[in-house]
C-alpha cells in the first residue's frame, strides 16, 4: 500500500457524539428487534436488523470516514457523502421497519409515560400523517436538494462546521420523509395507491437528472472553493464537478428506478406479495401501538432490568465472598495510600495519597452512581474494621436515641467540606493519610460499641454522600414481586435467616423505596429465601419525589435532618466547585488582603458557609412560601421546603459528577508515573516514571459538552421532580407553582455553567 | 494562563482541519495550499492546515517539515508552532491547532523543508474578537430546554387525555 493510500484510509473524523448516537440507536433497535423477531419472525427476520445496522453505518461513514476529510477538497467526494445520506442510508433505515423496534427497545417508562401520550395524541398523529404524505416528502426532498446546492448555501456549509452539520441533518431528514411512502415501513399504511409511486419516483428521477446534468455539462466551476482548490490527484475543478454530477446521476437514477421496477413487477404479479392498500377516509392511519399501556407510579418488577440477573456481574454482586475479596483489595489500596501519604513525597500529584482518593476513586464512584447506584458502599474498605469491632466486642448497645438522626452526619460532612477547602486536603498527602486512618479508627470504635450499622447510618460522611446522591441513580435494591412478600412469614430480609444476616440498617424490603440508607451490601439478597430481591431499574426521579412512609426512615417528606443533609450536599457541590475556580480564588485572596489577613482561611470559610448553609436556608423557604401563596397547597411550609430540598438533589448530583469527572479525565494518566515511582521506591524496576502523563495534558474537546449535558440532565430531573412534587400537594395552578419552585434549580444550573466556563485548578496534575 | 484555559474550554468551534482555502500558490518545487478554520478566524483556537504537492506531478508530499511563525501586527507578539500530519484529520495535510492569543492583524510565515529544498510562504489574516461564551455553548444547553418543553407538552397531553376520559359517559 502506498503512503498516499495509507494517508487517505487513515483520515477518519472520530467525533465521539455521532459514534455514541450510532451505537446507542443500534443497541435500542436490537433490544426491540430481539423481542419482535421471536413473536413475528417473518416480519422481523435477521435481515431487518442488518438493514438497520447498515443504514446507521452508511450515515456514520458519510460523516466520519475519509469522505468527510476530503469533501472540502473534492466535490465528487462531497457528493458521495450526500448520496450516502440521501439515497443509501435512509432507505436502509426504513427497510428495517425502525418505528416499533426502536419504541420497544426503550425502557418501559420511556415508551409508556414519556412517548406514549405523544404517540396517542390525535394532533401528533395528524401532523405525522401530514409530513409522511408523498407530496410533502417529494417537495421537501427536491427543495432541500436544490437549495443546499445553490452556491451561497453550499459555500456556507463548506466554511462553517455548524451549517455543514445542519445541511447533513436536513438531507437525512428530508430523505427519510421522501423514502417513507416508497418503503412504507410497518405498521404504517399507504396514503396513495401503490401505482402512484411510479410517477412519484419518476419525478424525483427527472429532477435528479436535470440537477446532475448541470454539474456534468456546465463549463465553469459552480463553487468558488473547489475552483480555488489544488488539483488533488491531478483532478482539475471541472473534471471533479463533472464526476460529482455523474455520481449523482448514476446512483440517484439507480436508486429511484430500482423501486419503480419492483413496484411494476409487484403490480403485474398481484399474487406475488400482497400490495398494501391505502387507508380510507381523511383521518390519520390508526396505528395500533402495542407498546403503549397504563402507567403507574409503583411499577412491577417484571420488565425492569435486574443487575443480579445479568451473567457474571449478577452472581459477583450477590456473592459475599467476592465482596469481601474486593473490600480486602480496597483495604490494601487504602494501606498503600496511608503509607505513601506518610512516607512518600509530599507533592500531591506524585503521591498515591494525592491522586487515588481525590481523583481516581471519586471519579469512579460518581460514574457508578450515574450508571447504577451506590457501588462505593459495596466496595467500602471501612467495612473490615467495622466487622472486626463487632467480632471482638459483640456490641449490644443501641445508638443513643438523642442523636438518632442525620444531624451528626450532616455536621461532620460540613466539617469535612470546610477542612477540604481551607486546609487543601487534596494537596496534602500527609493529611490525607491521617483522614484515612481516622476513618478506620472511627469505623472500628463506633461499631465496637453499638450494634447494627451505626457507623454507616449515623456517622459516615462519605456514606451520607452516597445515600443522598444515589437517590438520583437509575437502580435500587428492591423486591421483585410484592405478592411473594405478602405471603412471606419469616421476613429474613430484615431478621436474618439461614441465608445470612438481615439488613443492618433496618430497611424492611416490602416498605423500602429508593436508595436512602441502603449500602447495597446485598445482605437482604442473600437472606431472602424466595430469591425475591433484585437490583432493579427505576425512574431517576422516583426517590426524590416520594415523600411518604419508608419504614425505618419514617415520613421522609417531613424529615428536616434528611432534607438538611440533602441541601448541604446539593449546595455543597457548587461551593466545592467554586472553591477551585479562578475568579472565586482571586476574590478570596483579595478579600483576605483587604482585611490584612495572611491566609484566605476566613474568606474561604465564609464562601462555604454562605453557599452551603445561609443561601439554602433563605432561598428554599422563601421560594416555597411564594409557591404556597400562588397555589393553595395542602402542605406546610416546612414540609414543602423539605420536599424541594430532595427535588434539588439531581442538579446537585450533576454538579458533583461534572466536577469529579473534570479532575478524573484531566488527571487520569497520573496513576502511571506515581505507581512507577512507588515501585522504584520499594526497590523494584518500573522504568523511568512517565511524568509527562501527570502534566501538560490538554483538556479533551468533548469534556465541556459532556459537562454541559450532565448539568442539563440534572436540571431536567430536578424540574420534573419539582413538578411531580407540586402535583401531589396542590391541584390549583400547578404549573405556576412548579415554575416558582424551579427557580433555585435554574439558578443552580446557571451557576454550574458559569463554573465550568471558568479556569479550574488542575488538581492531581503537575503544572508545567 | 486563565484566559488560555477558558479559550481551550470554548475551543469546540475549530474542530477539524481544512476549512477555508487562504492561498494556493506555486513555490518551486511545490504547489502549496493553506487552509484555515474556523471562518472567520477569531481570537482563540485556530486550525491551520497546509497541503504540499509536487508542482509537476500534483503528488502530495508527505514527509516535509512545516513550521508556522505568526506575528501580531499591533503588539509584536509571536507564536510558533509545528504543523504535522499527525494533528490532521486529512492525513495528506499538515495541521496545527493552536491558540491565537489576540484579535487583530497577524502575519504568518509558513516554513517548509523537504530534503534540500526549503521555502517560506508569507500570508496574513485578521482575527476577530472571540464570541461570547453563550454563543458557543448554546447548542449544549438546548437539550435541557427542549426536554423541559417536551415534558410540559407530555403533561398537558396526559392532562387533556385524562379529562377527555372523565368526560366520556359511563356506558355501564
Q: Which of A664, A675, A750, A51 is nearest to A366 (CA)?
A: A664
Extract the C-alpha cell encoding A731: 391541584
Q: What is the pLDDT of residue A100?
A: 93
Domain ranges of chain A: 3-268, 581-757
Which value, to the nearest 10 degrees, does the dihedral of the CA atoms of residues A129, A130, A133, A135 take? 170
Query: How many interchain CB pairs under 8 A, A with B?
Result: 142
Provide DSSP, A24-87: HHHHHHHHHHHHHHHH-TTTT-HHHHHHHHHHHHHHHHHHHSHHHHHTTT-HHHHHHHHHIIII
Residue B93 has pLDDT above 90, yes or no: yes
Distance, in Å, from the CA atom of A243 to the CA atom of A241, rounded to the nearest integer, reads: 5
Q: Does B133 touch chain A (CB under 8 A)?
A: yes
Q: Which residues of A fall within a CB distance of 8 Å from B157?
A: 117-118, 120-121
Check CB contact under 8 Å for B31 and A13.
Answer: no
Q: Which residues of A fall within a CB distance of 8 Å from B98?
A: none
List the single residue in A with minimal CA-CA distance to B45. Answer: A701
Considering only CB atoms, A117 lies closest to which of B85, B141, B157, namely B157
Check CB contact under 8 Å for B62 and A69.
Answer: no
Beta carbons of B98 and B81 less than 8 angstroms apart = yes
Considering only CB atoms, A716 lies closest to which of B5, B147, B155, namely B147
Rg of chain B, C-alpha, whole Å:
25
- Residue A712: other Cβ atoms inside 10 A: 23
Residue B168 has pLDDT above 90, yes or no: no
Check CB contact under 8 Å for B151 and A756.
Answer: no
Extract the C-alpha cell encoding A422: 481551607
Extract the C-alpha cell encoding A255: 436508486
Distance, in Å, from the CA atom of A261 to the CA atom of A249, rounded to the nearest integer, reads: 18
Q: Which residues of B fall within a CB distance of 8 Å from A723?
A: 151, 155
Q: What is the pLDDT of residue A668?
A: 87
Residue B12 has pLDDT above 60, yes or no: no
Considering only CB atoms, B89 lies closest to which of A69, A113, A159, namely A69
Q: What is the pLDDT of residue A273?
A: 56
Q: What is the pLDDT of residue B18?
A: 64
Average pLDDT over residues B152-164: 84
- Distance, CA of A47 to chain centre: 31
Per-residue pLDDT band at B13 (split at 50, 70, 90): very low
Which residue shows C-alpha cell 442523636? Answer: A403
Considering only CB atoms, A13 lies closest to which of B16, B33, B62, namely B16
Check CB contact under 8 Å for A232 and B85.
Answer: no
List the single residue in A with minimal CA-CA distance to B31. Answer: A230
Check CB contact under 8 Å for A69 and B90.
Answer: yes
User: How close does chain B come to A701, measured CA to CA in Å?
Assistant: 6
Beta carbons of A255 and A201 less than 8 angstroms apart = no
Is A528 in a helix, a strand, or coil? coil
Is B24 in a helix, a strand, or coil? strand
Q: Does B20 touch chain A (CB under 8 A)?
A: yes
Residue B171 has pLDDT above 90, yes or no: no
Q: Does B136 touch chain A (CB under 8 A)?
A: no
Name the E strands within chain B.
Answer: 20-27, 30-37, 44-54, 65-72, 78-83, 94-100, 104-114, 117-127
Sign of CA dihedral A262, A267, A271, A275: positive
Q: What is the pLDDT of residue B20?
A: 84
Q: Which residues contact B6 (CB under 8 A, 6 or more apart)?
A: A757, A758, A759, B133
Extract the C-alpha cell encoding B161: 387525555
Name the E strands within A380-530.
Answer: 475-479
Check CB contact under 8 Å for A230 and B18.
Answer: no
Q: Where is B166: in which H helix or E strand?
A: helix B133-167
Q: What is the pLDDT of residue A287?
A: 45
Q: Which of A159, A728, A754 to mutate to test the interface with B (most CBs of B within 10 A)?
A: A159
List the single residue in B with minimal CA-CA distance to A8. Answer: B91
Distance, in Å, from the CA atom of A504 to the CA atom of A488, rounded to the nearest integer, reads: 20
- Give tens-digit pLDDT for B96-120: 999 999 999 999 999 999 988 999 9
List the single residue in A with minimal CA-CA distance to B24. Answer: A230
Across the 768 residues of chain A, what is the mean pLDDT of every consecutive 10-residue run? 85 86 96 93 94 96 91 92 95 95 89 86 89 94 95 90 91 96 91 90 95 93 89 88 95 93 86 57 45 42 81 93 95 96 92 93 94 92 92 92 93 94 89 94 94 92 95 94 92 91 91 91 94 92 87 86 96 93 89 88 92 95 94 89 96 96 89 93 88 74 91 97 93 92 97 89 58
Q: Which of B 143-172 lie inside 8 A of A, CB atoms?
A: 143-144, 147-148, 150-155, 157-158, 161
Check CB contact under 8 Å for A749 and B51.
Answer: no
Check CB contact under 8 Å for A118 and B153.
Answer: yes
Considering only CB atoms, A230 lies closest to which of B8, B53, B57, namely B53
Is A763 in a helix, a strand, or coil? coil
User: How close does chain A come to B158, measured CA to CA in Å?
Assistant: 6
Distance, in Å, from the CA atom of A673 to the CA atom of A764, rounded to the nearest integer, reads: 12
Distance, in Å, from the CA atom of A6 to the CA atom of A1, rounded to the nearest integer, reads: 7
Q: Which of A64, A52, A86, A54 is nearest to A16 (CA)?
A: A64
Q: Which of B60, B68, B112, B126 is nearest to B91 (CA)?
A: B60
Q: What is the pLDDT of residue A21?
A: 93
Measured CA to CA in angstroms, residue A494 lies from A250, A490, B21 at distances of 72, 9, 72
Q: What is the predicted ipTM?
A: 0.84
Considering only CB atoms, B144 lies closest to which of A160, A233, A716, namely A716
List the single residue in A with minimal CA-CA distance to B51. Answer: A230
Q: What is the pLDDT of residue A765?
A: 59
CB-count exposure of residue A292 (10 Å: 0-12, 13-18, 19+): middle
Q: Where is A336: in which H helix or E strand?
A: helix A320-343
Extract the C-alpha cell encoding A533: 430481591
Which value, to the nearest 10 degrees, does the dihedral of the CA atoms of residues A617, A618, A621, A623 take? -130
CB-based burial, A525-539: b 16+ in 10 Å, e otherwise? bbbbeeebbbbbbbb
Check CB contact under 8 Å for A229 and B13.
Answer: no
List the single residue in A with minimal CA-CA distance to B36. Answer: A159
Q: Which of A21, A712, A732 to mutate to test the interface with B (most CBs of B within 10 A)?
A: A712
Distance, in Å, from the CA atom of A122 to the CA atom of A114, rounded to the nearest integer, reads: 16
Q: Which of A83, A99, A84, A7 is nearest to A44 (CA)?
A: A99
Beta carbons of A209 and A179 less than 8 angstroms apart = no
Considering only CB atoms, B62 lies closest to which of A7, A117, A720, namely A7
Q: Which of A1, A65, A73, A756 to mutate to test the interface with B (most CBs of B within 10 A)?
A: A73
Measured CA to CA in angstroms, residue B65 lies from A115, B1, B21, B31, B52 at distances of 56, 29, 20, 15, 10
Is B128 in a helix, a strand, or coil? strand
| DSSP bridge partners of B95 | B49, B84
Crossing angle of the two packed helices A743-757 and A649-667, in degrees rounded to 10: 10
User: How far is it between the farthest Cα atoms of chain B?
Assistant: 97
User: How close does chain A come to B150, measured CA to CA in Å?
Assistant: 9
Q: What is the pLDDT of residue A295?
A: 37
Q: Which of A113, A165, A708 to mutate to test the interface with B (most CBs of B within 10 A)?
A: A708
Check CB contact under 8 Å for B38 and A161.
Answer: yes
List the single residue in B with minimal CA-CA distance to A115. Answer: B154
Q: Which of B 97-116 lie inside 8 A of A, CB atoms?
A: none
Beta carbons of B33 and B8 less than 8 angstroms apart = no
Write down the pTM of the prediction: 0.84
Amino acid at each position: 500500500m502506498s503512503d498516499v493510500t495509507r494517508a487517505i484510509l487513515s483520515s477518519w473524523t472520530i467525533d465521539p457524539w455521532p459514534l455514541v448516537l450510532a451505537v446507542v440507536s443500534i443497541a435500542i433497535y436490537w433490544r426491540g428487534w430481539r423481542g419482535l423477531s421471536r413473536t413475528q419472525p417473518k416480519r422481523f427476520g435477521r435481515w431487518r436488523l442488518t438493514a438497520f445496522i447498515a443504514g446507521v453505518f452508511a450515515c456514520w461513514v458519510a460523516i466520519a470516514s475519509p469522505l468527510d476529510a476530503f469533501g472540502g477538497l473534492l466535490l465528487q467526494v462531497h457528493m458521495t457523502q450526500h448520496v450516502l445520506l440521501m439515497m443509501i442510508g435512509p432507505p436502509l433505515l426504513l427497510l428495517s421497519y425502525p418505528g416499533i423496534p426502536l419504541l420497544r427497545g426503550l425502557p418501559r417508562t420511556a415508551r409508556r409515560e414519556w412517548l406514549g401520550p405523544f404517540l396517542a395524541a390525535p394532533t401528533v398523529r395528524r401532523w405525522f400523517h401530514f409530513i409522511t404524505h408523498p407530496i410533502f416528502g417529494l417537495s421537501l426532498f427536491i427543495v432541500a436538494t436544490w437549495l443546499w446546492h445553490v452556491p451561497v448555501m453550499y459555500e456556507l456549509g463548506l466554511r462553517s462546521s455548524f451549517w455543514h452539520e445542519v445541511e447533513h441533518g436536513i438531507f437525512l431528514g428530508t430523505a427519510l420523509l421522501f423514502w417513507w411512502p416508497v418503503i412504507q415501513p410497518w405498521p404504517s399504511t399507504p396514503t396513495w395507491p401503490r401505482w402512484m409511486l411510479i410517477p412519484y419516483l419518476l419525478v424525483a428521477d427527472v429532477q435528479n437528472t436535470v440537477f446532475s446534468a448541470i454539474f456534468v455539462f456546465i463549463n465553469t466551476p459552480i463553487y468558488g472553493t473547489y475552483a480555488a482548490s489544488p488539483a488533488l490527484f491531478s483532478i482539475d475543478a471541472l473534471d471533479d464537478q463533472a464526476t460529482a454530477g455523474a455520481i449523482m446521476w448514476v446512483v440517484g437514477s439507480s436508486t429511484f428506478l430500482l423501486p419503480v421496477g419492483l413496484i411494476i413487477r409487484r403490480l403485474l404479479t398481484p399474487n406475488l406479495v400482497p400490495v398494501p392498500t391505502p387507508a380510507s377516509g381523511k383521518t390519520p392511519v390508526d396505528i395500533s401501538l402495542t407498546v403503549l399501556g397504563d402507567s403507574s407510579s409503583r411499577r412491577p418488577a417484571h420488565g425492569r432490568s435486574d443487575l443480579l440477573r445479568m451473567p457474571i456481574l449478577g452472581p459477583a454482586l450477590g456473592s459475599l465472598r467476592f465482596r469481601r475479596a474486593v473490600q480486602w483489595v480496597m483495604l490494601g489500596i487504602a494501606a498503600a495510600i496511608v503509607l505513601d501519604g506518610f512516607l512518600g513525597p509530599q507533592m500531591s500529584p506524585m503521591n498515591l495519597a494525592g491522586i487515588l482518593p481525590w481523583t481516581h476513586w471519586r471519579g469512579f464512584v460518581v460514574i457508578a452512581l450515574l450508571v447504577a447506584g451506590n457501588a462505593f458502599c459495596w466496595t467500602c474498605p471501612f467495612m473490615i474494621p467495622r466487622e472486626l469491632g463487632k467480632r471482638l466486642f459483640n456490641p449490644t448497645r443501641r445508638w443513643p436515641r438523642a442523636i438518632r438522626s442525620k444531624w451528626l452526619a450532616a455536621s461532620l460532612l460540613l466539617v469535612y467540606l470546610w477542612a477540604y477547602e481551607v486546609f487543601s486536603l487534596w494537596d496534602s498527602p500527609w493529611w490525607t493519610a491521617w483522614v484515612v486512618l481516622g476513618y478506620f479508627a472511627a469505623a472500628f470504635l463506633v461499631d465496637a460499641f453499638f450494634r447494627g450499622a451505626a457507623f454507616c447510618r449515623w456517622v459516615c460522611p462519605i456514606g451520607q454522600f452516597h445515600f443522598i446522591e444515589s437517590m438520583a441513580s437509575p437502580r435500587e435494591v428492591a423486591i421483585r414481586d410484592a405478592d411473594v412478600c405478602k405471603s412471606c412469614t419469616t421476613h429474613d430480609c430484615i431478621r436474618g435467616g439461614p441465608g445470612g444476616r438481615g439488613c443492618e440498617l433496618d430497611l424492611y424490603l416490602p416498605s423500602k423505596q429508593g436508595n436512602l440508607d441502603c449500602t447495597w451490601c446485598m445482605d437482604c439478597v442473600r437472606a431472602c429465601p424466595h430469591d425475591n430481591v433484585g437490583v432493579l431499574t427505576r425512574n431517576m426521579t422516583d426517590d426524590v419525589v416520594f415523600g411518604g412512609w419508608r419504614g425505618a426512615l419514617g415520613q421522609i417528606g417531613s424529615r428536616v435532618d434528611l432534607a438538611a443533609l440533602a441541601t448541604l450536599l446539593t449546595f455543597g457541590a457548587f461551593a466545592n466547585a467554586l472553591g477551585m475556580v479562578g475568579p472565586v480564588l482571586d476574590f478570596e485572596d483579595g478579600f483576605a488582603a483587604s482585611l490584612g489577613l495572611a491566609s484566605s482561611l476566613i474568606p474561604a470559610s465564609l464562601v462555604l458557609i454562605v453557599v452551603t448553609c445561609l443561601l439554602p436556608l433563605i432561598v428554599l423557604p422563601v421560594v416555597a412560601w411564594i409557591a404556597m401563596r400562588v397555589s393553595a397547597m395542602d402542605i406546610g411550609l416546612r414540609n414543602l421546603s423539605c420536599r424541594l430540598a430532595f427535588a434539588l438533589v439531581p442538579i446537585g448530583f450533576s454538579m458533583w459528577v461534572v466536577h469529579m469527572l473534570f479532575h478524573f479525565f484531566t488527571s487520569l494518566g497520573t496513576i502511571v508515573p506515581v505507581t512507577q515511582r512507588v515501585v522504584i521506591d520499594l526497590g523494584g524496576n518500573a522504568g523511568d516514571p512517565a511524568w509527562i502523563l501527570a502534566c501538560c495534558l490538554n483538556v479533551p474537546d468533548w469534556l465541556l459538552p459532556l459537562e454541559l449535558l450532565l448539568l442539563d440532565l440534572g436540571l431536567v430531573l430536578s424540574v420534573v421532580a419539582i413538578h411531580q412534587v407540586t402535583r401531589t400537594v396542590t391541584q390549583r395552578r400547578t404549573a405556576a407553582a412548579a415554575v416558582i419552585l424551579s427557580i433555585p434549580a435554574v439558578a443552580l444550573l446557571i451557576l454550574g455553567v458559569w463554573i465550568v466556563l471558568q479556569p479550574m485548578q488542575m488538581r492531581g496534575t503537575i503544572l508545567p | 494562563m486563565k484566559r488560555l484555559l477558558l479559550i481551550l474550554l470554548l475551543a469546540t468551534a475549530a474542530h477539524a482541519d481544512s476549512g477555508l482555502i487562504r492561498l494556493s500558490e506555486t513555490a518551486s518545487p511545490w504547489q502549496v495550499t493553506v487552509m484555515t478554520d474556523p471562518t472567520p478566524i477569531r481570537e482563540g483556537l485556530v486550525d491551520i492546515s497546509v497541503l504540499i504537492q509536487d508542482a509537476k506531478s500534483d503528488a502530495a508530499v508527505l514527509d516535509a517539515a512545516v513550521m508556522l511563525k505568526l506575528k501580531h501586527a499591533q503588539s509584536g507578539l509571536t507564536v510558533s508552532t509545528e504543523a504535522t500530519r499527525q494533528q490532521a484529520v486529512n492525513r495528506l495535510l499538515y495541521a496545527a491547532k493552536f491558540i491565537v492569543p489576540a484579535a487583530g492583524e497577524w502575519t504568518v510565515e509558513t516554513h517548509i523543508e523537504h530534503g534540500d529544498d526549503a521555502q517560506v510562504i508569507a500570508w496574513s489574516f485578521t482575527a476577530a474578537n472571540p464570541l461570547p461564551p453563550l454563543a458557543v455553548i448554546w447548542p449544549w444547553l438546548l437539550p435541557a430546554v427542549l426536554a423541559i418543553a417536551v415534558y410540559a407538552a407530555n403533561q398537558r397531553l396526559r392532562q387533556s387525555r385524562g379529562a377527555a376520559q372523565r368526560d366520556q359517559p359511563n356506558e355501564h
